[in-house]
Structure 1
């Protein structure tokens, strides 16, 4: 369903454009985006509500009305339905099964914040149902899934935003970093280091009773059927929380069956900015080499043989050969952030600072006027949802598009495969396949569990 079929919503979105995305959070823009009439606002739904799901929902109340929420945990669903009702006049409908959301003809777009192994199935089915899509990072569990999403975006013409918020919500530090590179302030880039943190191994996590409020089979979805595991006495989060150690929430990112550890968590942010700065958002590496790393359990043929502990890499140094003879290092050591090194200088950027002599030199030699806007491709939005809605209006892809996201995420996926197989991988960025390694190429895709295949 295109927004053009709803004149009142089209009027609202034209107001967004008139306000200008660079000032979309100003008081004047707030009046444009006010709550005078629910019919003037696009209608959203969120699928997956724990943690980041609620974060992106509450950031979007200013711009959209939420008609429905979906989650396989009844406690999480109920809590967030009430939270949403407090934020807007109408209580959203609640569903365990996301497919009931996709059946709704009144919903313009869905926001997906499920665990990673669900992203592709829901996103593809949402696009075929006529919805625009906002999906949390990392977008996919495999490289093949990224190709599929690209194909369906092109086929359906839907707008698709990936939740890599460093592109819009970082006080422009990262955009400034890219502008420094583009304007030659460190000369020829020679090396970029992405610090993305280490993680700790887990204790043995025993089989445990499934919480009454959780549909565990539905949570697993396309992933293999396994027992629920948890140490229930150690808990984190709101409302009594969830186990600190489990194979579900809170720690699903620490299992290859559902995510990719730090490589696809923080890596999806910092590798993205690095590729953007290097002008490598539509290409890829030629080689991925695991220099040193630690896997917390034993592996055979690239697969863990222990199933009661976290299985993603805990520590790592990975060398990536990027275009133009640039070396990228992805490391769990040192500061979280990105260090750019060139023939004429170096600087460091993260979410709290941008430091180094090229940054200090801006006081006497500022970047040209419009340099940040040139990087961004127009006026800079200070809110990811605002950028998404503007894209829905223009029917153009937003700043966090699926193509650039998938290209950088391929580096993260390849890094995990290289560690799992304990060898260097050579990559063909044109064919998007590993060169001369059938076993490694088998890790580019995965089988979906019967009953949870993608429906088109």
Structure 2
């Protein structure tokens, strides 16, 4: 890959860190085609329903990136995604159903993973072991063990792994964290994260034959085999423990990560969780109502309140975070932040230049481009990742620990050095999952 000039390298780094985001001022089609093909990082996108479609746009909006490959086990979405890539870039991507075949492609530089959760870590590990960089949507793992494997894999294979918690690349959030470190609200001690939505019932599924357009065997991949039911695909798998990780990881991971970042904490000492499936009597296996809390060394804590089936908002927002300190409070979300003094007077306010969606299943917006551009710049120019996998793992682990605490009695004591559960065999038995024979990820 060509080495760019020093001036261009400095410009890229400045634009990513400062949030200049040239991609937002030009059409996606023209912006994605400034340089010749030999100067571009060649991407694949795996998992094209929902979030994956939004990430196609994010890649195309980045300089020096091309979408050479797409991968999905749904033959219908392969057709629509191919057409969309052609509309965006004027090129036709090569399509795969089996990611193992995709990763054999020599000119593939990086893969973006937007599959169901049970595929995230195994696919990212496959990618880096094959010499490709990986951008993996949150949660980066289906269980804590996989998060540890991801950190090991990035070190062993020397390839980058970025988690797709795009608020880490929001200029307003970056500034908020800087202001917190500079003391704008005094000593910070509590982060409150929340998510509220109005999800309906998923009903009680019936066992039927998998549809002809779906490769059910490959869809399951690393997970133990189950018969197909008509309420699994394409979204409701989130609420089944074989494949999903519940609302705390589906959405709470974003704001819990922001709180952990703002407070400057890593692994907790104590985790508690309460809640249940209260709204509907259906197949949903996780919790539609959950309050999880995390205590850290240095007298700091995080709480998360999730309500999947009641959309009443906090502070007029369906999702967000507040950071509380001795001299005031900061409220922040994907679209900006506001700082208040102890009398609730606004002392600083910043807004993002482009609005990002917050409650739909795609979440597309300007932060996708900034976060993807950060990943691209790290590949090409050695820029610092805004969410390297060791940081991503810490935040996702908090979510896993919340679910484990909820499932095993409500309270866990953990090692603040690595987050591992102390003196609780039942809880530690949930640290790792069972895998389909021949599919267990290895580093």
TM-score range, shorter chain: 0.7 to 0.9
**Counterparts in 2 of 1:423 and 1:36: CA distance versus 1, 3 Å:** closer
How far off is 1:327 after superposition? 2.4
1:271 to 229, 253, 256: 256
> Do the aligned residues in 2 keep the contact of 1:297 with 1:309 (CA within 8 Å)?
no
Q: How many residues align?
A: 406
Are the aligned partners of 1:297 and 1:311 in contact in 2 as well (CA < 8 Å)?
A: no
Aligned in 2, Cα 1:60/1:422: closer, same or farther, shift over 3 Å?
Answer: same
Q: How much does 1:452 deviate? A: 2.2
Gaps of at least 5 residues in structure 1 are 1-5, 231-245, 299-305, 367-379
Partner of 2:380: 393
Match of 1:408 among 395, 420, 431: 395
- Tell me, in whole angstroms, the C-alpha distance in 2 between the residues paired with 1:214 and 1:225: 15
Secondary structure of 1:266's partner? helix
Partner residue in 2 for 1:187: 186
Q: 1:74 to 1:325 in 2, by over 3 A?
A: same
Aligned residue in 2 for 1:252: 237
1:135 is displaced (CA, Å) by 0.9
Distance in structure 1 (CA, Å) of the matches to 2:77 and 2:94: 14
Aligned to 2:359: none
Q: Following the alignment from structure 1 to structure 2, what is the Cα–Cα distance between the partners of residues 154 and 13?
A: 27
- Kept in 2, the 8 Å contact 1:288–1:320? The answer is yes
Assess, with a 3 A threshold, how the Cα gap between structure 1 residues 206 and 33 changes in structure 2: closer, same or farther: closer
Q: What does the per-residue CA deviation read over 1:236-283, in whole Å, with 9 as the maximum and x for residues that have no partner? A: xxxxxxxxxx22312221222212121102221101111111111xx3
Match of 2:276 among 281, 287, 294: 294
Report the 3-state secondary structure (helix = DSSP H, G, I; strand = E; otherwise coil) of the residue aligned with 2:183: coil
Cα distance in 1 for residues equivalent to 2:6 and 2:289? 46
Alignment correspondent of 1:241: none
2:357 maps to: none
Partner of 1:126: 127
Distance change (3 Å), C-alpha of 1:447 and 1:87: same
Of residues 174-183 and 130-139 in structure 1, the stretch that sits farther from structure 2 once superposed is: 174-183
TM-score (norm 2): 0.84
Hey, what's the Cα distance between the residues in 2 that align with 1:13 and 1:108?
23
CA contact (8 A) 1:12 1:40 kept: no
SS of the residue 1:204 aligns to: coil
The secondary structure found in structure 2 opposite 1:82 is: helix
Give the Cα–Cα distance (whole angstroms) in 1 for the partners of residues 96 and 428 of structure 2.
38
1:18-57 equivalence runs, <5 A? 18-19=11-12, 20-21=14-15, 22=18, 23-25=20-22, 34-57=33-56
Q: Give 1:77 shift.
A: 0.9
Describe the shift of the 1:84–1:207 C-alpha distance in structure 2 as closer, same or farther (beyond 3 A).
same
Aligned to 2:148, what secondary structure does the other structure show?
A: helix
Task: Tell me which residue corresponds to 1:84.
Answer: 85
Q: Does 1:452 align with 2:426?
A: no
Q: Is the 8 A contact 1:16 1:24 kept in 2?
A: no
Q: Is the 8 A contact 2:58 2:369 kept in 1?
A: no
